A = this chain, B = another copy of it.
Amino acid sequence: MEGQDEQTTGARAADGSHADIYGEDGAILSSFLAAIGAAIADRDTLTLKREVDDLHQSELGDLLEALHPEQRRALVELLGADFDFSALTEVDEAIRRDIVDSLPNAQIAQGVQDLDSDDAVYILEDLEKEDQDEILSQLPFTERIRLRRSLDYPEETAGRRMQTEFVAVPPFWTIGQTIDYMREDNNLPDRFSQIFVIDPSFKLLGAIDLDQILRTKRSIKVEEVMHETRHAIPATMDQEEAAREFEQYDLLSAAVVDENDRLVGVLTIDDVVDVIQQEAEEDLLRMGGVGDEELSDSILSTSRSRVPWLLVNLLTAFLAASVIGLFDRTIEHIVALAVLMPIVAGMGGNAGSQTMTVTVRALATKDLDIYNAGRIIRREMGVGSINGIIFAILIGLVAAAWFRDPNLGGIIAAAMIINMFVAALAGILIPLLLDRFKIDPAVASAVFVTTVTDVVGFFAFLGLATWWFGVR
């Protein structure tokens, strides 16, 4: 029966060493949360330490996010030196700032010292310059130099994301020597999947994967089995580009080198996974007209970050309205036009969004390039024409029946074909053009595409009606 129980509770149950703090729905169990809350209220440090001791950094992070702000700060304060700072890399930026701001710089200096350099940098990079300097000044010399080097690289580069702890050996060592060195050295990184081969000036010569070391005889020299430094990543490379290298070549880790080809750090797949998630999220949010907001942001900062997008949309909405205004006398005569016109504009907008979504995504993943752009443009024009005809017939018939006017049906059908075709063209050409001019298509495409489909939709429908019914 015990085996059965283990099975049904899934992945985490097989693990003896972790507390099972999540419910069926993936949220933290409310019983666990209540216990932690009670211990915080009682300032029961002993219980708290026991409860969070087993937690993985990401589980502690989830716990912090589930607590109220006062509870969070109290928990970190009560845990004192036992608080695992790596949990701060797993929470929203606003929560991280809130906790870090509540701590004295001395405690932060103590806390980041135990972390891998990439995690330490992740926490320090958000701080004010003065706090950063004060904390760095309290660190041992080598630590300070390492963190400073990472922080000196621009944001969102490989240099900023790299870990400065790595294992490097000279090329003339044997595999046996290398293994013995690793058995003896207590300063190895927590986890690593390859070791690097360097010359005395730290210039990168090559790398060996750990599985390669394990299948090689002890007497063989490192330089005989190392592979030359495939995919060494310049420290100034954009993190998104570095992530694409990892994806394309299925890397687990990669050497990061400075402008003189010297090994300065290692980029690992777990950081890259975070970058991939973040970039995918950015594209999705931008297409939805949202900037870099997080769930923990306040009402005012959220409101402020969304206003610019709405403002741009307002301008285009007035543009569309002024197109309608051109035909006010026609609408006065045939009020059915006012009833039907949002259909023409709206359907064009939806068709345009479909094409635009595919285009923006293909541009982001580099699947769309000069070799297939022509073919994809032709395909979208084809799809726009076919769907335009299908929906023209549908809408034309319904409109004719609704207002008992076959002329109206014909006019809306013609307007639909025009707008769906223009929508397809706008949906692909606008992102392509923005990309060519180095503007992020995810940010700006939607507003341009819907402007085009609104303006063309209203103009085609009302214009055709004005001409056909001969108003004015």
* A residues at B contact (CB < 8 Å): 3, 6-7, 10-12, 14-18, 25-28, 33, 56, 58-59, 65-66, 92, 179, 182-183, 188, 191-193, 204, 209-211, 213-217, 227-234, 237, 242, 244-250, 252, 257, 259-261, 269-270, 272-274, 276-277, 280-281, 283-285, 287-290, 293, 295, 297-300, 302-303, 306-307, 309-310, 313-314, 317-318, 320-322, 324-325, 328-329, 331-332, 335-336, 338-343, 345-347, 350-351, 353-354, 356-358, 361-362, 365-372, 376, 379, 382-383, 386-387, 390-391, 394-395, 398, 454
Q: Is the CB of B209 within 8 A of A191?
A: yes
Q: Is the CB of B390 within 8 A of A307?
A: yes
Given the contacts A269-B273, A340-B321, A346 and B231 also touching, CB distance less than 8 Å: no
Given the contacts A231-B15, A273-B273, A324 and B342 also touching, CB distance less than 8 Å: yes
19 pairs, A vs B, C-beta closer than 8 Å = A3-B261, A12-B231, A14-B230, A14-B231, A15-B228, A28-B371, A65-B372, A66-B369, A269-B273, A276-B277, A285-B361, A288-B353, A288-B357, A303-B387, A307-B387, A309-B354, A313-B350, A321-B342, A341-B342
Complex CA distance for A353 and B26, rounded to whole angstroms: 26
Q: Is the CB of A357 within 8 A of B324?
A: no
Q: Is the CB of A350 within 8 A of B310?
A: yes
Complex CA distance for A325 and B115, rounded to whole angstroms: 65
Q: Is the CB of B358 within 8 A of A214?
A: no
Q: Is the CB of B215 within 8 A of A182?
A: yes
Complex CA distance for A374 and B347, rounded to whole angstroms: 35
Could you say which of B14, B276, B324, B398 contacts A338, with CB atoms under 8 Å apart?
B324
Could you say which of B233, B313, B357 contacts A289, with CB atoms under 8 Å apart?
B357
Q: Is the CB of A16 within 8 A of B228?
A: yes
Could you say which of B298, B357, B395 contacts A290, with CB atoms under 8 Å apart?
B357
Q: Is the CB of B183 within 8 A of A215?
A: yes
Interface centre among A58, A332, A354, A368 (most CB of B within 10 A): A354
- Report the minimum CB–CB distance from A260 to chain B (whole Å): 8
Could you say which of B295, B310, B370, B391 contacts A314, with CB atoms under 8 Å apart?
B391
Complex CA distance for A28 and B395, rounded to whole angstroms: 44
- Report the minimum CB–CB distance from A120 to chain B (whole Å): 16
A283 contacts across to B, CB distance below 8 A? 284
- Report the minimum CB–CB distance from A267 to chain B (whole Å): 11
Interface centre among A204, A272, A350 (most CB of B within 10 A): A350
Complex CA distance for A3 and B261, rounded to whole angstroms: 8
